[in-house]
Structure 1
Amino acid sequence: MKRAKLQAAIVGGTPDDIEQAFYEALHNADIQQLMSCWAEEDEIVCVHPGGPRLIGPGAIRAAFEAMFANGSVQAFPERVHKIQSLASAVHHLVERVEVITPQGAQHAWVIATNVFHKTPQGWRMVAHHTSPGTATDADAGNKPLVLH
């Protein structure tokens, strides 16, 4: 069943399916799955915390391959706020990232915006923008989870 859902995300799916496949790809250090979440466009863009703006699939792939050379990325999307129209969707969220330190597993917080467009291949990511966050961002608790 999970494999069928993943296949639906790769073939078309919803923005939620593509986002789930994206984070699964990070957890599994699976560059093929990760890149299949992105639109096949030269203008896609990605920004990692403190990093440069990466434009195009080649630059984005190279950055994630370099990350995966150090292992998988255990990023967990939380507090997702969604805005969706007929052909685009924006998900703004807090990523809880597990970081291994000499003292054991610790959590870091990243603020992320994922933008999806409906393409001929179905919904695909066109932008992933992250910046450093704080534990306060994760605890900013009493706001609605979905924006309409």
Structure 2
Amino acid sequence: MPTKTKLSAAALGGTADDTEAAFYEALQRGDIDALMACWSDDDEVFCVHPGGPRLVGTGAIRAAFEQMFANGAIHASPARVRKVESLASAVHNVLERIEVLTPEGARHAFVLATNVYHKTAEGWRMVAHHASPGTAQAPDDLDNTRQTLH
């Protein structure tokens, strides 16, 4: 069945939203082949997990997700998506709701992530995923926060 999953993810050509949905579905199933089918084959793709180093290239990204999947699937659901899109690129900023099972029961964390997609000959593919360190509660003012950068 992994071949069918990979083919369905690879056949995505509709929108960046379709690729994003396939990415989060693959995370929830712990399906490394489907997850990697969402990524561009470009050597310069990168991924930053919360508190982690920058991973460059599909080999490094695959290895990191394989290590994460060794502990089980990642139950992450995107919400509050903000988008900037053009004809050949899309940037999605999402609030990821992460569910972690502990001996005390299910716990939730919230992570802000930015996913960048490019339209390639194979369809829309992820070229960057950057996730912030998590918090125990979702920010109430996520859409209205204005901060000054120095």
Q: Do the two structures share a fold, i.e. TM-score over 0.5?
A: yes
CA shift for structure 1 position 136: 4.2
User: Distance between the aligned counterparts of 1:136 and 1:66, measured in 2?
Assistant: 27
Unaligned runs of 5+ in 2: 145-150
Matches within 5 A, 1:4-23: 7=8, 9-11=9-11, 12-23=13-24
Equivalent residue, structure 2, for 1:57: 58
2:82 and 2:94 in contact (8 A); partners too: yes
Runs of 4+ in 1 over 6 A off after TM superposition: none
Could you say if the C-alpha distance between residues 15 and 105 of structure 1 is closer, same or farther in structure 2, counting changes exceeding 3 Å? same
Question: Normalising to structure 1: TM-score of the pair?
Answer: 0.87
2:110 and 2:138 in contact (8 A); partners too: no
Equivalent residue, structure 2, for 1:41: 42
User: Distance between the aligned counterparts of 2:109 and 2:42, measured in 1?
Assistant: 31
Residue deviations 1:22-70 (CA, integer Å, cap 9, x gap)? 0000000000000000001100000000100000000000000000111
Unaligned runs of 5+ in 1: 144-148
CA shift for structure 1 position 142: 6.0
Equivalent residue, structure 2, for 1:32: 33
User: Distance between the aligned counterparts of 1:99 and 1:69, measured in 2?
Assistant: 14
User: Distance between the aligned counterparts of 1:55 and 1:82, measured in 2?
Assistant: 24
User: Distance between the aligned counterparts of 1:81 and 1:57, measured in 2?
Assistant: 26
User: Distance between the aligned counterparts of 1:141 and 1:53, measured in 2?
Assistant: 25
Question: Normalising to structure 2: TM-score of the pair?
Answer: 0.86
Cα-Cα RMSD:
1.9
User: Distance between the aligned counterparts of 2:143 and 2:94, measured in 1?
Assistant: 14
> How many equivalent pairs are there?
138
Residue 73 (1) aligns with residue 74 (2): yes
